[in-house]
Structure 1
Amino acid sequence: MNKSNSNVDFPLRAVLLQPDTAAGYDLGQWDLLVQQARGAGLLARVAALLREADLGDRIPPEVRWHLNSAFTVYRAHSDDVRLEVEHIARALKPAGVRPVLLKGAAYLAAGDRARLGRLYSDVDIFVPRDHIDAVEQLLRWQGWSGEELSAYDQAYYRRWMHEIPPLIHRSRGIALDVHHNLLPLTSRVKLDAEALAAGITPSDFPGVDVLAPSDRVLHSAAHLLLEGEFDNAFRDLSDLYLLLTELSAADPGFWDALPARAAELGLSRVLYYALRYLAQLLDLAVPPDVTARLQSAAPVAPVRWIMDRLFASALLPIAVTGQGGWPGFARFALYLRSHYLKMPLPLLARHLWHKAVITPFEYRQPDPAA
């Protein structure tokens, strides 16, 4: 990416890094900023950062209502998540379980800057695996339920994945993902949930906890780089940037501890990639000694060359790169990679065969009750 003209053709990036940049925009640049931010799910974050920089009087009236509307939605989302977390904590209290909030809800509960302008499609929690049955039953008693799944899909979640099937509250309509690990049990990238639990800390919300600061970074990086879904990739990259800049400024020992924690959890290569692309795409200042310590986790040069070109396209907003061509191929290739990493090849072949052939056949069968 040519950074020299990023203020012209990529105003979203410029404003995320330096909100004051927007003060000099003409109406055409404002229009492009709104388009890119909306497409990346970051319009509310742009609104929050501009408010924080006290630039309200520099925003054209034609643009102001877009930003104000997005900011209002962000505040409503935050209030909804706070309320939902209260319901979850109350539901699980009889089992003595304090759920650990993940991703966006965790940023909100921890007071991280990554909460700014963050919108929520669901709430994610992490609970001990030996409590998962009790947790699911208690949640169902309190109004959460899942869609009807085939026997195969139930087995897929419960035998191989790191979470139970998604739940939705019957009256409030908010989705809830319940994890007992942060990566699939069959994943080639292994993560020790017990080691993760050792770093859990209380949150600002009653009855719920969050991961340790370094672990919030590592989980965000793993979700971004291993899940294979890139619709919100640039938003997640922005989350990581805000997390790392805030946490490293608050704790002089943060950068020193982060690579060690990544090694302990088996996420050194994930951290290597995350810091590499944050430096390339968002100018994150990574200390040279941290980069040097992660070199042992780097892939061989040909793989690094390929990954650089795939991620350099896939992590940028679709509103900037477009859907097709090389960016579309890059997103598809990394989607295939995510499945390769999730399962051993024999299990993956079985899974793809079932989803491509067996599942469509089952849906074509007439309903005997009809």
Structure 2
Amino acid sequence: MTRRRGDIKSFFCIATGRAVLPDTPSDLAGFVAWAQESHILGQVAAVVTAEVGSKLNDILENARLRSSYDRRMLTFETNRVRRALMGADIQPILLKGSAYVAEHLLAGIGRRVSDIDILVPEEHLKETEKLLGQAGWRAEESTAGAYDQQYYRRWMHELPPLRHETRRTLIDVHHRLLPRTSRIRPDHLKLMADARLVESSDLMVFSPTDRFIHSAIHIFGDGAFETPARSFIELFYLYSDLTGAEKRSLMPRAKDVGAETPVREALWMLGEYFDVQAEGGKAPWLLKWCIRTVTDGQGGLVYLANALLYVRSHYMRMPLPLLAGHLWKKVLRRV
């Protein structure tokens, strides 16, 4: 099914509570299908109500239950991380979903989550891994092999994923924001220096401005846009939470930390799909075409656009010789 640009913009309005549900069965079905395939039904359910007893109400209630479970899991596991590191001279910074939930942000309401992300100084990596291991987090099976372990530790911005041996929850321990080989080199130390404590906790989070910048870095400087609607709604909520002064300081701060390009692209997206008037937003024409194609419809061109975004994400992460060698090893492992 191919959608018109107006359909998608209206869908984003509905999904963020700024417009009512479609009034025709076909349009309503189209919206619900889009929300399901975009993995945002929990966020939709947080801002949309339906007639009690209706099929839509059942769908939304189920989404609320699932996202509520995720929220409780994330809160519990974040507390387990805090307890595992208690007594050590380590103050982890919560990233992404765990930060949004801890700070009670709009971006965390109804959000589906599958793992916990924390950021620690690189010099604390070994101790952090040891303490988490003592608390039950071990190397995740899919990356427990010698090649993956070596690759992560040499080139990536995080340790290999750790999975709890009994609860099966996953934690990603970051020491920077993008891989060491990334073409974009944001200054993670400057962002870490301005982190602040979560209220009534010894865990930390980025400042509101830096939280938006990190999300832009993750989505536009590293990701392949597997779930663009989910990512774009996250950025919309994070931007909406900023004060006027914080919005004005956004581009200067992005330039200061070396994240100007992904922030400009994120601001372009906010204007494209949410009609946010933000100064400085712009993106290359090919990236615009890929995002519009992937977001607006389905079919042959979507496969091409997704392929280009996938190639772009790897191109942004590492030099071509390293990428070629890495992909070749991955292919050989599957043969």
TM-score norm. by structure 2 comes to 0.92
Name the aligned partner's letter for residue 311 of structure 1: I
Cα displacement (A) at 1:60: 6.8
| Distance in 2 separating the partners of 1:72 and 1:87 | 23
* 1:257-272 map, 5 Å: 257-272=249-264
Cα deviations by residue, 1:81-122 (Å, 9 ceiling, x for unpaired):
111010000101232212111111111111211112111011
* 1:8-47 map, 5 Å: 12-22=11-21, 25-47=23-45
Tell me the equivalent position of 2:117.
124
8 Å Cα contact 1:17/1:282 also seen in 2: no
Name the aligned partner's letter for residue 149 of structure 2: Q
Name the aligned partner's letter for residue 268 of structure 2: R
Tell me the equivalent position of 1:342.
317
| Distance in 1 separating the partners of 2:328 and 2:17 | 48
Range 84-93 or range 330-339, more displaced: 330-339
User: RMSD of the TM alignment (CA)?
Assistant: 2.1
Name the aligned partner's letter for residue 13 of structure 1: F
* 1:275-290 map, 5 Å: 275-286=267-278, 290=279
Distance 1:205 1:81, change over 3 A: farther
Cα displacement (A) at 1:230: 2.4
Tell me the equivalent position of 2:287.
307
| Distance in 2 separating the partners of 1:226 and 1:252 | 25
8 Å Cα contact 1:37/1:43 also seen in 2: yes
* 1:197-212 map, 5 Å: 197-204=192-199, 206-212=201-207
Name the aligned partner's letter for residue 185 of structure 2: K
| Distance in 1 separating the partners of 2:19 and 2:311 | 40
* 1:1-370 map, 5 Å: 2-3=4-5, 5-6=6-7, 12-22=11-21, 25-50=23-48, 55-57=49-51, 61-146=54-139, 147=141, 149-204=144-199, 206-247=201-242, 251-286=243-278, 290-291=279-280, 304-314=284-294, 316=295, 321-322=297-298, 324-357=299-332, 359-360=333-334
Cα displacement (A) at 1:56: 4.5
Cα deviations by residue, 1:310-352 (Å, 9 ceiling, x for unpaired):
12223x2xxx622x41111111111111111111222222222
Name the aligned partner's letter for residue 263 of structure 1: K
Cα displacement (A) at 1:76: 1.4
- After TM superposition, the runs of 4+ consecutive aligned structure 1 residues lying more than 6 A away are none
Cα deviations by residue, 1:256-296 (Å, 9 ceiling, x for unpaired):
1110110111110111111111211222221xxx32xx6xx
Q: Which runs of 5+ in 1 are unaligned?
A: 362-370
User: Once the two structures are aligned, what percentage of the paired residues are identical?
Assistant: 33
Larger radius of gyration: 1
8 Å Cα contact 1:100/1:126 also seen in 2: yes
| Distance in 1 separating the partners of 2:69 and 2:258 | 37
- SS class of match (1:145): strand
Cα deviations by residue, 1:214-239 (Å, 9 ceiling, x for unpaired):
11111111111133332322101101
| Distance in 2 separating the partners of 1:331 and 1:228 | 11
TM-score norm. by structure 1 comes to 0.84
Cα displacement (A) at 1:145: 0.7
Distance 1:18 1:76, change over 3 A: closer
Distance 1:75 1:40, change over 3 A: same
- SS class of match (2:179): coil
Distance 1:184 1:120, change over 3 A: same
Tell me the equivalent position of 1:368.
none
Distance 1:49 1:135, change over 3 A: same
| Distance in 2 separating the partners of 1:263 and 1:157 | 28
8 Å Cα contact 2:16/2:233 also seen in 1: no
Cα deviations by residue, 1:155-196 (Å, 9 ceiling, x for unpaired):
210011000100111111111111000100111101222112
8 Å Cα contact 1:31/1:63 also seen in 2: no
Range 11-20 or range 60-69, more displaced: 11-20
Q: Which runs of 5+ in 2 are unaligned?
A: none
8 Å Cα contact 2:16/2:47 also seen in 1: no
Cα displacement (A) at 1:10: 6.8
- SS class of match (1:118): coil
Distance 1:27 1:93, change over 3 A: same
Q: Which has the higher helix share?
A: 1
| Distance in 2 separating the partners of 1:36 and 1:10 | 12
